[in-house]
Amino acid sequence: MSGLRVVPAWRQGHERLYVCMTDGRNIAWYDRESSRVNLLSEDFRGDVLEALTPFLTGPVTVGPPPVPTPAELARLSLHPDDDLAPNRPGEALQVALDRDPGPPHRLRPDPRRRALAAEQAVGEALEALEGAGWHTLHSLPLPGGDRIHHLVIGPGGLFAVHTLYARKQRVHVADPMVSLGRKDPRPLLRRVRSDADRASYALTAEVHPVLALAGPADLTVTVLLREVRVLLDADLSGLARLGGVLKPADVEALHAVARDRGTWGRV
């Protein structure tokens, strides 16, 4: 077969070389990162490899495209507006501050900016777990205007993480009350458990509650906590040591469900 064209393109940050017929139809593509030539028809194997020869950098695997997993199919069927995976840490706060940044001069810092800084610090720590087989979703919207700050899914299970700005302040936890510096204590652990319960209902899987403290000067826990974990942002990497709960396929399937905005509209 003559007249095959090789057209470079970028897909999800990776370079691909598409092999096209004269009418523009793709019959194969070469993924440099995986060193794989994906054929849509075995009939074109010889012609495709001949066209790609100047571009191949070493041994390659040749065959049909991999069959997508159920998780990949669920992701591909999502409308971009319903995909929560691109959310940044503190996405809802980012949007609110963009819409209404507040007066330029304030006697006290905008509490939204402090909360955003905390969610960004915790989100960065959680995203560092990605290489260990974990996924993190941020700012998941719940009915009534609530949201889950972070949802972490990995080999050790699922965790709904609520972030609290505590920079250079003493934190005292007496379940369910949490006091920050000289402020009056609040029953914050009830909110943390409620978020996890709602996530469990949405995903039909056990979700563990976590309160993450961003930058506290000191932490005191006076009683044995029931179910909930209280962690410093610097200690969140310890979640990567947990395992034996979910298989990789289960992690991917739960992540595919959790990233769908529609999942959270009924809890």
Give residue 49's Cα distance to chain centre: 38
Where helices occur in 168-225 by DSSP H, the ranges are 188-203
Token pair in block for residue 68? 């997508």
List, in order, residues 6 or more apart from 66 with CB less than 8 Å away: 38
Amino acid identity at 243: G
Where helices occur in 53-161 by DSSP H, the ranges are 70-76, 91-99, 111-127
The whole-number pLDDT of residue 134 equals: 95
pLDDT tens profile 145-171: 999 999 999 999 999 999 999 999 999
Q: Is 82 helix (H, G, I), strand (E, B) or coil?
A: helix
The whole-number pLDDT of residue 53 equals: 92
**Tens-binned pLDDT, residue by residue, of the chain (267 aa):** 567 999 887 655 567 888 988 877 888 889 888 888 988 888 889 999 999 999 988 888 998 877 767 777 776 678 888 999 999 999 999 999 999 888 777 677 889 999 999 999 999 999 999 888 999 999 999 999 999 999 999 999 999 999 999 999 999 999 999 999 889 999 999 999 999 999 999 999 999 999 999 999 999 999 889 899 999 999 999 998 988 889 988 998 899 999 999 999 988
Rounded Cα distance, 211 and 68, in Å: 36
> Could you give the angle at the alpha carbon of 226 between the alpha carbons of 197 and 213, nearest 5°?
80
Give residue 187's Cα distance to chain centre: 28
Rounded Cα distance, 255 and 71, in Å: 8
pLDDT tens profile 65-110: 777 677 777 766 788 889 999 999 999 999 999 998 887 776 778 8
The whole-number pLDDT of residue 169 equals: 94
Token pair in block for residue 246? 């979910």
The whole-number pLDDT of residue 1 equals: 52
Token pair in block for residue 111? 């509490």
Rounded Cα distance, 15 and 17, in Å: 7
Residue 28 contacts residue 19 (beta carbons within 8 Å): yes
Of the candidates 6, 11, 158, the one whose C-alpha atom is nearest the C-alpha of residue 76 is 11
Please give the model's pTM, rounded to 2 decimal places: 0.74
Peptide bond into 176 cis (omega under 30): yes
